[in-house]
Amino acid sequence: MSLTINTTGAVNVSLTGSFSFVDPTGFQSPLSKAIPAIVNQMSACSFGQASVGIAGFQAVLPANPTQLLYCKNISTSGVVTFTWTPVGGASTIVANLEPGGIIFFFNPGAGISALSVSSTVNNTLVDYVLAG
């Protein structure tokens, strides 16, 4: 994934890549899924690293709706819980991210209007990108 800022201040999001799955026993054929080149312009972006605690916090979203969320739990302990409200929906727990785990959400034309994040231990570090 790459993010670039153009001269109008909007954010261009480009997604490319692939996933490959190989059965080490050889009983199943390898599977590869390509991510088609997707380019979408969004009005705002925030990114960085955050320390998440047991009390959690309500994230400040860069746009409403926020259509892209990437987060990686870079800690060695602590499970990070993501609770979000989809546009037109109700708040719900979406994921419990173990150390080293990644959550990726990209939904152009829809998205989330609220996001809260908490952890099972204090000072759990996460990398994140939000755009909308």
Q: What is the pLDDT of residues 65-85, one digit of tens each?
A: 999 999 999 999 999 999 999
Q: Higher model confidence: residue 45 or residue 34?
A: 45
Do the beta carbons of residue 82 and residue 94 sit within 8 Å?
Answer: yes
pLDDT at 3: 45
The SS3 call for residue 88 is coil
**How many other CB atoms are found less than 10 A from the CB of residue 83?**
16
pLDDT at 37: 67
The structural domains of the chain, ordered by start, are 2-131 (2.60.120)
Do the beta carbons of residue 97 and residue 105 sit within 8 Å?
Answer: no
The SS3 call for residue 118 is strand
pTM over 0.95: no
pLDDT above 70 for 122: yes
Indicate the average pLDDT of the chain: 87
Model confidence band, residue 121 (pLDDT cutoffs 50, 70, 90): very high
Q: Higher model confidence: residue 14 or residue 86?
A: 86
% of residues, the chain, pLDDT over 90: 58
